[in-house]
Amino acid sequence: MSNNALAPTEPSADASETSSGVAVLDRAFAILNAFGPTDDRLTLTELSRRTGLYKSTVLRLLGALEHGGFIRKLNDGQYAIGHQPLRLATLYQRSFQVGPVVEPILQQLSREQGETASFYVRQGDQRLVLYRVEPSRSVRVAIRVGEEFAIDRGASGKVLLAFTELLDPRWDEVRERLWAVSYGERDPETASASVPVFDSTGQLVGALTLSGPKGRFDVPAVMNVALVALLDSAKRATTALGGRGARYDASIARFAHEDAVDGMRRRDADAGG
Nearest to 180 by CA among 148, 152, 139, 213: 152
Asked if residue 241 and residue 131 are part of one domain, the reply reads yes
The amino acid present at 234, given as its one-letter code, is A
What is the tally of structural domains in the chain?
Answer: 2
* Per-residue pLDDT at 19 exceeds 50: no
Residue range 30-54: mean pLDDT, rounded? 93
Q: Domain range spanning residue 216?
A: 91-268
Angle at 202 between CA 198 and CA 208, to 5 degrees: 15
What DSSP state is assigned to residue 1?
-
Asked if residue 76 and residue 51 are part of one domain, the reply reads yes
CA 54/CA 50 separation, integer angstroms:
11
Nearest to 66 by CA among 36, 48, 58: 58
The CB density around residue 134, as the number of other CB atoms within 10 Å, is: 17
Looking up residue 250, the CATH number of its domain turns out to be 3.30.450.40
pTM: 0.68
CA 139/CA 148 separation, integer angstroms:
22
| pLDDT tens track for 91-133 | 776 666 788 999 999 999 999 999 999 999 999 999 999 999 9
Looking up residue 25, the CATH number of its domain turns out to be 1.10.10.10
Residues 195/231, Cβ–Cβ less than 8 Å? yes
Nearest to 211 by CA among 197, 221, 226: 226
Round to the nearest angstrom and report the end-to-end CA distance of the chain.
Answer: 103
CA 190/CA 73 separation, integer angstroms:
37
Asked if residue 237 and residue 118 are part of one domain, the reply reads yes
The CB density around residue 197, as the number of other CB atoms within 10 Å, is: 27
Nearest to 102 by CA among 196, 208, 203: 208
Share of the chain above pLDDT 70, in %: 84
Residue range 1-10: mean pLDDT, rounded? 39
Residues 116/135, Cβ–Cβ less than 8 Å? yes
* Per-residue pLDDT at 29 exceeds 90: yes
| pLDDT tens track for 144-158 | 888 899 999 999 999
Of the candidates 54, 82, 110, which is a domain's last residue? 82
Asked if residue 136 and residue 61 are part of one domain, the reply reads no
Within a domain: 46: yes
Within a domain: 9: no
Asked if residue 139 and residue 251 are part of one domain, the reply reads yes
Within a domain: 2: no
Worst-scoring range by mean pLDDT, 180-189, 250-259, 262-271? 262-271
Angle at 254 between CA 272 and CA 112, to 5 degrees: 95
* Per-residue pLDDT at 1 exceeds 50: no
Residues 78/47, Cβ–Cβ less than 8 Å? no
256/48: higher pLDDT: 48
